[in-house]
Amino acid sequence: MDRISIFGISATGYHGVFDHEKRDGQKFIIDVVLHVDISRAAASDNVLDTVHYGEVSELVVEQIQAGPWDLIEKLGNEIAQAILTTYRSVLEVDVVVHKPQAPIPVPFTDVTISLNRKQKQHTAIIALGANLGDPQATLAQALKDLGEELEILKVSPVAITKPVGGPPEQPDYTNQVIEVRTERSAHELLDLCQSIEAKHHRTRTVRWEARTLDLDLITFDQLRLNDERLTLPHPRAAIRGFVLAPWSWMDPDAVLEGQLVSRLAAEAADTKDIIRL
């Protein structure tokens, strides 16, 4: 995971268990490390695609000046939660609170507490496909099913695509891509997708066979995972035009493994056969 680090943010706060600390105040110094994905910003060179560290610094000062709190543990937690709530693209944050003027009756240099907090909500990309029955109606119902369990942030236009791999003489596919937000883990989201597939009578007897519904988890935050059930990012997403094209229509600045999805879509072998509805 990429990181943005800001060290030595300082302001006067009124935190402490003693009355004189709340009355007179003292200097607090904060270090923050933001765990983010900077690949979109690296591709676009646009400040809107990254976390503005100047704004983060001002947010930290606001928390120092808020309260007052008895404990610097409370202050550190308030800073972390404010950052995660304000910046959903920050997946994890490390906060160190320094209290160099703490009322300790012996010589000392500094007092610090350190904490780490993570986003409770995650962002994922899911690819939908079907080529049996009434595929457009099936995808529409699948979106409703997913919307009952997740927050759907973006939905791509519908694409009609030729089958890739699998048994010959299959019907054309109907495909879409969506971006969702959820508190579920990656495996819990996979379970949900498979339960919705089962609801639509998905079978798994022949690899890449025709199907009533296919829900593929493409990305989950910036998680890299490879176990017996799930590989993230999806191992074939970068060469699948039927995923890349609708994804790029939905989000022209989307990035997969450090590369613009729109560029990958243009290079995918099957993109030329895709029809946008």
- Nearest alpha-carbon partner for 158 in 175, 182, 171, 170: 175
- Nearest alpha-carbon partner for 31 in 96, 90, 84: 96
Active-site residue (options: 99, 120, 144, 154) = 99
Helix (H) or strand (E) holding 2: strand 2-13
What is residue 91's DSSP assignment?
-
Residues 6+ apart with CB under 8 A from 59: 82, 83, 86
Q: Are 187 and 195 in contact (CB under 8 A)?
A: no
Examine the residue annotation and report whether 144 is marked as an active-site residue of this protein: no
Residues 6+ apart with CB under 8 A from 27: 10, 11, 12, 100, 101
In Å, how far are 30, 191, 214, 243, 245 from 130, measured between CA atoms?
A: 51, 19, 6, 13, 16
Q: How far apart are CA 208 and CA 195, in angstroms?
A: 19
Helix (H) or strand (E) holding 190: helix 186-199
Find where tokens 């590369």 sit. Answer: 259
Which is it for strands 214-220 and 2-13: parallel, antiparallel or unpaired?
unpaired
Residues with active-site annotation: 99
